[in-house]
Structure 1
Amino acid sequence: MVQQFNPDDPIQEALTPPSSWYTSPNFLSLEFDQVFFRGWQAVGYTEQVQEANSFFTGRLGNIEYVVCCDENGKLHAFHNVCRHHASLLAFGSGKGSCFTCPYHGWTYGLDGALLKATRITGIKNFNVREFGLIPLRVAIWGPFILLNLEKETLSQQDCDDDVGMEWLGSSSEILSTNGVDNSLSYLCRREYFIECNWKVFCDNYLDGGYHVPFAHKDLASGLKLDSYSTTVYEKVSIQTCDGGEEQGQNDFNRLGSKSLYAFIYPNFMVNRQDRYGPWMDTNLVVPLGPRRCKVVFDYFLDTSLKDDEAFVVKSLEDSEKVQMEDIKLCESVQRGLESPAYGSGRYAPMVEKAMYHFHCLLHRNLMK
């Protein structure tokens, strides 16, 4: 299936990946092993663990993880699995000085050390130091928390030193100087469960605004679609578009603004007005099955506008409308991919460069 896509064909001649990439359970298993369990993956934002003893949990494929901040303010991440009989330790998010297994009461510190193993009198050849939580590499870039799920070990110092270049390549400085930074405050989260393969959502995001005038008429009215441009970097593609006519002092697409849409391979997106804009949202696409995914939207806002209820409500309503329109599109595409009438498609070379880049990166990882 992997070889049915040829990245050596120029975009003007290339066929898109076959429908089996979007429908096969075996293909999704390969993607977890070769794509999601390699390299850095965005999993959250720094405000989730800003306070001492705070934590949050998540799942990617069959990996359950917990990210936490200990009492000294140090960030940690672990497999969220008790070393005794495999129960999950923590659920959701919250605060606490330790993790206590709800099954048999084994207790771990936020540094991963096993603090208490209940009722083990008579056990032999047991070394408490060997039964701490299994660590995961964790790092921070800007406002985002990243995990590396590879099995090979690497020092935490190496993670901190290299994460920007490893995750973003040469686009790191470009993003940080265009407002993808810690200048905004966290606002809220929304989650959407969509009946489509995770790549369908990514493809929709990466079509260079191709679908916007047809599917998002209200959004299109606030954008100068003929200004759409795409720049491709090592693992990142950045789409930009100028705003439309002035509609109000706090309007997201006010006159002179530029919207930036950054796709960070394989499944993370950052939507930001230029460095002077008040709003940013991120989209994290989590595969749940061959034809199902969860998309996590996190919203960030300039602190001066957090109390502007009218602006916040209107912005979230506009975002919700666009997401409902996109969900309808993506679920329709998934049904079409499952039809015997479709095998592969073609690219529109002038607008779908970012999508083609995404497929080529996938192919490269899957062939390793």
Structure 2
Amino acid sequence: MAMAQSLAPSTYSAARAARPKARRAVPSRIVARTGAATGESARRLVAAFDPAIPLASAVTPPSGWYTDPEFLQLELDRVFLRGWQAVGHVGQVKNPNDFFTGRLGNVEFVICRDANGELHAFHNVCRHHASLLACGSGQKTCFQCPYHGWTYGLDGILLKATRISGIKNFNKNDFGLIPITVATWGPFVLAIFDDSSQNTVNDVVGDEWLGSASDLLSRSGIDTTSLPHICRREYIIECNWKVFCDNYLDGGYHVPYAHGALASGLQLQSYETSTYERVSIQRCESAPAEQEDIDRLGTKATYAFVYPNFMINRYGPWMDTNLAVPLDATRCKVVFDYFLDESLLEDHNFVDRSLKDSEQVQMEDIALCEGVQRGLESPAYSVGRYAPSVEMAMHHFHCLLHDNLSG
């Protein structure tokens, strides 16, 4: 989210998961399989929320949505492993032979550009005995399995299968890497994990991913590829992934109580929220400030939430994104990427000060989210209520989840 106390309303969202307690990102413990049987407890939890009740009368989803491992399995199957998902930014695969890896539920994936510059995505699993092929990011001319040396081109073709003399009924053309549908929209890399089709025409991806909000976000400068990537920060937060999203979507409700320094730089009464098919957009104006702060923060910020777990914050010369990835029912990894107008890249004091301000808000939000998670696990809490004047985007998010989970 926005980056600083003055860095804009973006912080109203938990989007700032801080550089907190030095926690090391660890592999997900989730094992989710598309099509897996849905447990009775998860179905009951889905049914416990009624999206048809008007916002002013509605109650929030029950606490089990945020604590039940079986419910998360259902989310992975019906939410995360269906439809376009944000997985990275184009700067990670800017040049031929660039690659990066990731994990979502039980899906290990690798995104890469081949020598001709064509973008590909594959399941990051060797077809021989299932070893992971690549880790991290960087450049490779091929993927060689560290286990038995089977080697694949960056186009997924099996180039070499070692020590298979005597093997029968084997056609190496049948043992290439399993493809994943991949595309880009503006600076973002997107993937579909359950779609076997390879129709990745980029000019329609925005409409599929963002719906009718696509044009508005383009006009807000969110689809620009001209902002260099500054840095990435990853944090493990002891809360369900939706707690982080809910915090982002409360329309600045928590800002005056949790972010005193930030609140002084915002006109909280100017918050406005619009909802679209899979997107909600919040906007807020900055409080009157010195010219230097206006140049840094802009006069109005746009904060877009793209269902189910991607947040884009555009303000002044900055854009930052937050991706909330579930690790288990009560932990998530949040990935922050920061982008900045090229004209300010050499202003190191400005960059350092902005990132420091952002980190402060992130630390505050992490404490909030972890406190909420502990409360959700308490026997004293079951459901809550919405503040109708500000929490429209949060209710919209919960309704979208219910629609996917009950379908």
Answer whether TM exceeds 0.5 for this pair.
yes
| Structure 1 residues 48 and 8: CA distance shift in structure 2, 3 A | same
| Separation in 2, partners of 1:19, 1:286 | 19
Deviation at 1:179, TM superposition (A): 1.3
The answer to whether structure 1 residue 266 and structure 2 residue 308 are counterparts is yes
2:82 aligned residue: 38
1:9-66 CA distances to partner (integer Å, 9 max, x unpaired)? 0000001000000000000000000000010000100011011101000000000000
Aligned counterparts, 1:1-368, within 5 A: 1-150=45-194, 152-157=195-200, 159-180=201-222, 181-249=224-292, 251=294, 254=297, 257-273=299-315, 277-368=316-407
Deviation at 1:183, TM superposition (A): 2.5
Q: SS of the counterpart of 2:373?
A: helix
State the secondary structure of the residue aligned to 1:8. Answer: coil
Cα 1:251–1:191 shift into 2, 3 Å:
farther
The structure with higher relative contact order (CA 8 Å, sep 6+) is: 2
Structure 2 unaligned regions, length at least 5: 1-44
Q: Which residue of 1 aligns with 2:10?
A: none
**Once the 2 structures are TM-superposed, how far is the Cα of residue 162 of structure 1 from its aligned partner?**
2.6
CA shift, 1:248, in A, is 4.0
Question: 1:116 and 1:250 mapped to 2: Cα distance?
Answer: 58
Q: Which moved more, 1:134-143 or 1:160-169?
A: 160-169
Please state how far the C-alpha of 1:207 moved relative to its aligned partner: 0.2
Shift of 1:156: 2.8
Q: CA RMSD in A?
A: 1.1
Aligned mates of 2:77, 2:404 — CA distance in 1: 10
Give the C-alpha shift of residue 154 in structure 1: 1.6
Residues 133 and 145 in structure 2, CA contact (< 8 A), matched pair in contact too: yes
In structure 1, runs of 5+ residues without a counterpart are: none
Give, in whole Å, the separation in 2 of the partners of 1:297 and 1:281.
7
Q: Percent identity?
A: 66
- How far apart, CA to CA, are the structure 2 residues paired with 1:161 and 1:259? 26
**Alpha carbons 2:274, 2:282 under 8 Å: kept:** yes
Distance 1:40 1:222 in 2: 35
| Corresponding letter in the other structure for 2:332 | C
Alignment-derived partner of residue 16 in structure 2: none
CA contact (8 A) 2:296 2:317 kept: no
Show structure 1 runs of 4+ deviating over 4 A.
250-254
Q: CA deviation at 1:259?
A: 1.1
Residue 134 of structure 1 aligns with an amino acid whose one-letter code is I
Give the distance between the partners of 2:147 and 2:294, measured in 1 at CA: 51
Q: TM-score when scaled to structure 1?
A: 0.97
Deviations 1:190-225 (A, max 9, x none): 011100000000000000000000001111111100
Which AA in structure 2 matches 1:297? Answer: F
